[in-house]
Structure 1
């Protein structure tokens, strides 16, 4: 496990604490429509951190040509089960170098809030490295009160209760976040490190990677479309 990350529950657990069986059960909500509406029809899309393919299948069903990237072989095996024929690449995101560029790059699951600044900068650099100069990068952000409004819970469309149990400061502006996922027949937890970012901080991080915010895709600002800067 990575330092500060862990997971519990049935089945394989990835180095960042994600449970493969859990993520195989989770289904997409409104995210596929948000993504599809923000990119051209039939666009090529690089999905960074695909997990078990929760978004991959509905994005392919909407006509996008998806390349799914994850560092977990177990996760990518589930992607291929869900979406036969889809292209998958096993690699850490920050070191990914495919030598090609896409109409759109997707960085979902709040990955931009990783606690390690170097990893975050690597994620955004990978986004810029793989997006066409006239393309876009779609990024999912945490809500403004995500770390202060705890505990809280919601019912997921997959039939589980998702509970943010705690968000405890561990220094350097980073919180240790504990999530619980409770199905009638199984329970998982995930602990991970997350760095809250103000809008100014977020935009500064993007600018350092050669990206600039184009528009917010949701009223709450949790989904953003960025464009490459032309220098």
Structure 2
């Protein structure tokens, strides 16, 4: 199943609705990144989108390079250097204190893509730096069901459908909605596939690209810190 999306406004190649993502506020991500990055340090944000996390990181004084394959997304990023590129193809002539791979990109069902994503992380992190990976742990996949979701003010996110189409491979469709002050509702959908990875499988994928799983940064284990296996 290819990623796809529906709804008003531009839709990116992975099905992300740009206008909806522009409505979302940053959660705990800036604090998670800040705890492993030196003050004023350099951060490479892979798959930065519209800058939901970029902007708070810039406000905290970090030097951020935001990478995304969508020009519509990057057009909404402010205060950071932007690079239009697929993550897998990125080759910058510098390394960073922190490389950040968010949005559960590592759970791609296409193993060569997962390797390429993590290889990009490895070749851009400084010796002694950290790679932060947001993933969907195995136990979180096991809890997926149609109807689950959350509402935050005038924005709602719910899982409209989910199916395990083969062992460990899930196809899901999310429904996003926004209700304006006049009571009018805008609705988007985003469909995608996701691979259920165990802790050992994630650690092995990191190790294959010269990275060592160091620790989980959040109670729900969705953020992982990895370190370069070799520091010289």
Give yes or no for TM over 0.5.
yes
Gaps of 5+ in 1: none
Q: Determine the structure 2 residue equivalent to 1:18.
A: 16
Please say if 1:180 is aligned against 2:136: no
Q: Determine the structure 1 residue equivalent to 2:182.
A: none
What pairs up with 1:60-139 in 2 under 5 angstroms?
60-79=58-77, 83=78, 85-139=79-133
Compute the displacement of 1:175 (Å): 1.2
Of the structure 1 ranges 168-177 and 70-79, higher mean CA displacement relative to structure 2 is found in: 168-177
Aligned-partner Cα distance in 1 for 2:141–2:133: 19
Q: Which runs of structure 1 show a deviation greater than 4 angstroms over 4 or more consecutive aligned residues?
A: none
What pairs up with 1:1-231 in 2 under 5 angstroms?
4-79=2-77, 83=78, 85-149=79-143, 150-151=145-146, 152-156=148-152, 159-171=154-166, 173-184=168-179, 185-230=185-230
Spell out, residue by residue over 1:27-55, the C-alpha distance to the aligned partner (whole angstroms, 9 max, x if none). Answer: 11111111111211111000000011110
SS class of match (2:218): coil
TM-score normalized by structure 1? Answer: 0.92
SS class of match (2:103): coil
Compute the displacement of 1:162 (Å): 0.9
Q: Is the CA contact (8 Å cut-off) linking 2:165 and 2:171 kept in structure 1?
A: yes
Aligned-partner Cα distance in 1 for 2:154–2:102: 21
SS class of match (1:126): helix
- Length, aligned pairs only: 224
Aligned-partner Cα distance in 2 for 1:33–1:102: 18
Q: Is the CA contact (8 Å cut-off) linking 1:164 and 1:179 kept in structure 2?
A: yes
Compute the displacement of 1:171 (Å): 3.2
TM-score normalized by structure 2? Answer: 0.92
Gaps of 5+ in 2: 180-184
Aligned-partner Cα distance in 2 for 1:131–1:110: 19
